[in-house]
């Protein structure tokens, strides 16, 4: 614990004892008995993580759709041999035996699919980022409520063990009120060169950054007021989209920062730090799959031994939260309505990057890719 000290300028801190880590519900949620038949629309690369997570959890994938039928057939052969395959998403939406649909195409392409699925009475897990227009997102949320179905977003990072533990620690009040939150991620995202992803100018703040805007929203609530962001191309990068981005978030009674260095060829590092009125949380490691968490309070220092990994616990958690919500009839932990607040942070950051000015959270409604 550090106390202000005129003699040492608070540069020295007292030694604290090691204490047991609190047990917190950070692992992916599982329904007690609800076992629906799941349809998956889209068979791109990331869908392998979805299907592997569902197989591990013991959930039945009854249908896989992709406009290139061979891709759907390949995914089914590897992960769900009994699944029906089709190249028409309408076949999945209209199937009365399917209760839940995982919709994975890109935002503009999946919008009409989500709407059709909700109107057909299906529960939906939408790939992230959810929408390109907050008004369209609100429309889908209303449509889900009108049809008495659940709509969730695959914010799989919510169940990355380190992020999940820190979130639950904050919600349990273990560090008091959050004063600041700082994320610093250094990795190599150069793999996007030559792929459709490099055509998205604000890829880092949008497609990648949404995980951390969502995390920030989950630990600070609605306290964010303005965002100032920048982006740049790194020296020597070959991808068309900027791989460097950062955002400063001004909050009521606090602050936050997100630093994304997506052009780090050697020595990757990922660190998250949350300071509160009664303690702090830190997560650190060489990548997002290898993270160690430290909880520091007046009681001492706790180092939880976390189980699992982002891939594929995060994907099991995203679907599991939806299934639990259906079973218990409540809003999913990753519900679309709340996710719009996370998107509002991302949209404000992108608008700021484009204008060079701080942007009020909620004032940027649409994103033009």
Q: What is the CATH number of domain 157-308+335-360?
A: 3.30.360.10
- At 1 the pLDDT is 52
Determine how many CB atoms are found less than 10 A away from the CB of residue 193.
14
Cβ-based neighbours of 45, under 8 Å, separated by 6 or more: none
d(CA 45, CA 242): 22
How many Cα atoms within 13 Å fall on the side-chain side of residue 306? 29
Q: What is the rounded average pLDDT of the residues 288-315?
A: 96
Per the DSSP assignment, residues forming a β-bridge with 244 are: 232, 261
* Mean pLDDT, all residues of the chain: 96
d(CA 109, CA 272): 33
Query: Which pairing describes strands 244-251 and 224-232: parallel, antiparallel, or unpaired?
Result: antiparallel
- At 324 the pLDDT is 98
pLDDT digits (tens, 9 = 90+) for 309-343: 999 999 999 999 999 999 999 999 999 999 999 99
CATH topology of domain 37-156: Rossmann fold (3.40.50)
Could you write out the three-class secondary structure of 143-173? HHHHCCCCEEECCHHHHCHHHHHHHHHHHCC
* Domain ranges within the chain, ordered by starting residue: 37-156, 157-308+335-360
Indicate whether 2 pLDDT > 60: no
Query: Which pairing describes strands 254-261 and 178-186: parallel, antiparallel, or unpaired?
Result: parallel
pLDDT digits (tens, 9 = 90+) for 183-217: 999 999 999 999 999 999 999 999 999 999 999 99
pLDDT digits (tens, 9 = 90+) for 135-185: 999 999 999 999 999 999 999 999 999 999 999 999 999 999 999 999 999
- At 6 the pLDDT is 67
pLDDT digits (tens, 9 = 90+) for 69-87: 999 999 999 999 999 999 9
pLDDT digits (tens, 9 = 90+) for 212-260: 999 999 999 999 999 999 999 999 999 999 999 999 999 999 999 999 9
């Amino acid at each position: 614990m550090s106390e202000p000290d005129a003699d040492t300028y608070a540069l020295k801190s007292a030694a604290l004892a090691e204490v047991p880590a609190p047990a917190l519900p950070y692992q992916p949620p599982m329904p007690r008995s609800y076992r629906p038949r799941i349809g998956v629309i889209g068979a791109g690369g990331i869908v392998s993580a979805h299907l592997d997570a569902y197989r591990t959890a013991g959930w039945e994938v009854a249908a896989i759709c992709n406009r290139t039928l061979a891709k759907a057939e390949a995914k089914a052969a590897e992960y769900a041999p009994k699944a029906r395959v089709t190249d028409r998403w309408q076949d999945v939406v209209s199937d009365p035996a399917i209760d839940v649909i995982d919709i994975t195409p890109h935002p503009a392409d999946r919008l009409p699919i989500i709407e059709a699925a909700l109107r057909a009475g299906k529960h939906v897990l939408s790939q992230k980022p959810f929408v390109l227009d907050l008004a369209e997102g609100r429309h889908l949320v209303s449509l889900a409520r009108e049809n008495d179905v659940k709509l969730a977003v695959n914010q799989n990072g919510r169940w990355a063990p380190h992020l999940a533990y820190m979130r639950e620690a904050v919600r349990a009040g273990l560090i008091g009120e959050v004063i600041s939150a700082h994320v610093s991620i250094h990795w190599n995202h150069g793999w996007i060169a030559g792929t459709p992803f490099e055509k998205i100018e604000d890829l880092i703040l949008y497609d990648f950054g949404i995980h951390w805007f969502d995390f920030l929203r989950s630990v600070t609530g609605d306290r964010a007021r303005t965002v100032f962001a920048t982006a740049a191309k790194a020296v020597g990068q070959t991808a068309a989209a900027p791989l460097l981005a950062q955002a400063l978030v001004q909050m009521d009674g606090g602050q936050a920062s997100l630093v994304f260095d997506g052009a780090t060829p050697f020595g990757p590092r990922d660190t998250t730090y949350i300071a509160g009125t009664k303690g702090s949380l830190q997560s650190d490691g060489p990548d997002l799959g290898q993270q160690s968490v430290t909880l520091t309070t007046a009681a001492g220092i706790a180092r939880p031994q976390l189980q699992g990994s982002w891939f594929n616990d995060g994907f099991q958690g995203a679907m599991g939260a939806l299934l639990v919500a259906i079973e218990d009839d409540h809003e999913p932990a990753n519900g679309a309505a709340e996710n719009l607040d996370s998107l509002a942070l991302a949209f404000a950051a992108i608008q700021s990057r484009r204008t060079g000015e701080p942007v009020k959270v909620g004032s940027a409604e649409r994103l033009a890719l």
